């Protein structure tokens, strides 16, 4: 059994990193703790089989959502057996609650941004659909009246008139 002590730096506080660390540790059958370390880092102590700990360290190199692990300072030693399971050590409940609200607000803002992007894409798709329908109607009306090469020229000019330049 081995022990690893890690200081994770980057964007690791107020972004759900400790929860992710706990999940990875539990999935690998490790015991230990994870806690915020003032001012911006996260301290992790984990014990278990060396292979699982190596996978754990690799799994902590995260850039997902708001989490950005810039650096991991890793120290190895022999396990002490002091941890029965893996847990998050939380600070003052008011500070923890404030952090959760900060994370929730950030996620809400991102959700709104994505919704606005989807709305804009939807409007663009509706506009293109209307153009396609208008072109189709023109084709139906004109197809018997115009020779094929003239139809193609006409279609091309109609499409270029209706397609905005970007």
Cα 161 to Cα 19: distance, rounded to the nearest angstrom:
54
Cα separation, 67 vs 107, whole angstroms: 12
Q: Which of 3, 14, 36, 100 is catalytic?
A: 36
- Cα 59 to chain centroid distance, Å, stands at 16
Query: Which has the closest alpha carbon to 152: 161, 162, 142?
Result: 142
Question: For the sheet containing 63-64, what is the strand order?
Answer: 63-64, 67-78, 2-11, 41-48, 31-37, 86-88
What the block records as the tokens of 48 is 């278990």
Pick the catalytic residue from 14, 18, 118, 130.
18
Integer Cα distance of 143 and 150 in angstroms: 10
Among the listed residues 45, 32, 34, 41, the one whose alpha carbon sits nearest the alpha carbon of residue 14? 41
36 classed as catalytic: yes
Active-site residue list: 18, 36
């Amino acid at each position: 059994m081995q022990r690893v002590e890690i200081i994770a730096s980057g964007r690791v506080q107020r972004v759900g990193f400790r929860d992710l660390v706990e999940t990875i540790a539990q999935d690998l059958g490790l015991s230990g703790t994870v806690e915020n370390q003032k001012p911006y880092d996260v301290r992790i102590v984990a014990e278990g089989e060396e292979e699982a700990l190596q996978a754990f360290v690799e799994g902590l190199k995260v850039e997902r959502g708001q989490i950005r692990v810039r650096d991991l300072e890793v120290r190895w030693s022999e396990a002490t057996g002091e941890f029965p399971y893996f847990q998050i050590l939380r600070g003052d409940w008011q500070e923890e609650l404030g952090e959760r609200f900060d994370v929730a607000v950030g996620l809400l803002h991102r959700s709104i941004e994505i919704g606005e992007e989807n709305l804009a894409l939807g409007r663009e798709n509706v506009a293109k659909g209307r153009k396609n329908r208008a072109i189709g109607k023109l084709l139906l009306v004109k197809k018997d009246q115009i020779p094929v090469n003239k139809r193609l020229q006409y279609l091309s000019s109609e499409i270029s008139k209706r397609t905005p330049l970007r």
